[in-house]
Amino acid sequence: MKRVLTVALIIFVCLSFVSVFAVEPINVTETNTTSEIIEEKEKVKTEIDKYVEKYDNNQTYGMTAYVLKMLQMYSIPVCFLGIALGAIAQFVLGIRKLDFRQRGSRMILAFITVLVICQVLPLIFALVVKGWR
């Protein structure tokens, strides 16, 4: 039963990554690519400027808040993939070897800890900067 659940979880995670990162193919031309890069750069700059304005025109705090937001967003799929790999090591490979079961258990614990830290860190930053200044 554990194997079936683990395999189902892995398939679900893989399909989630495919649907999240699915991108329409673009025609790669010199002007098209350059304009898209410039548009993306401007979008990031406006987003950073919103954070700078939010933190009382402090460039350092605004950039830190933006980086923490990106860390929070990209840590979710990475940690879920790590948790899935830990579950494979613990429940599938760990049936025959005890060291794989322990390694998988440690991997799951480590990735859950990293996930919680990455999700809570922007909140703590905002509370400290906005609350105690």
pLDDT higher than threshold 70 for residue 133: no
Is the pLDDT score of 26 beyond 60?
Answer: no
Give DSSP secondary structure letters for 3-33.
HHHHHHHHHHHHHHHHHHS--------HHHH
Three-class SS state of 96: coil
**Does residue 95 fall inside a structural domain?**
yes
Judge contact between 78 and 115, C-beta under 8 A.
no
Which domain range does residue 56 map to?
2-21+44-131
Reported pTM? 0.68
Tell me what pLDDT residue 132 has.
76
Exposure of 116 in the CB half-sphere (CA atoms within 13 A): 6
Residue 14 lies in a domain: yes
Asked if residue 39 is part of any domain, the answer here is no
Q: Which tokens in the block code for residue 54?
A: 């939010």
pLDDT band at 80 (very low <50, low <70, confident <90, very high): very high
Which residue from 24, 21, 23, 37 is spatially nearest to 74, judged by alpha carbons? 21
Secondary-structure percent of the chain, ordered helix, strand, coil, rounded to 5? 85, 0, 15
Residue 124 has pLDDT above 80, yes or no: yes
The SS3 of residue 57 is: coil
pLDDT tens digits for range 63-72: 999 999 999 9
Is the per-residue pLDDT at 8 higher than 90? no
Domain contains 54:
yes
Q: Is residue 15 part of a domain?
A: yes
Has residue 29 been placed in a domain?
no
Q: Give pLDDT, residue 31.
A: 61
- Does 87 fall in a domain? yes
Whether residue 20 has pLDDT greater than 70: no
Residue 36 forms part of a structural domain: no
Count of the separate structural domains present in the chain: 1
CA pair distance 61, 66, nearest whole angstrom: 9
The greatest distance separating any two alpha carbons of the chain, rounded to the nearest whole angstrom, comes to 58
Q: What is the pLDDT of residue 24?
A: 52
Of residues 21 and 107, more confidence is placed in 107
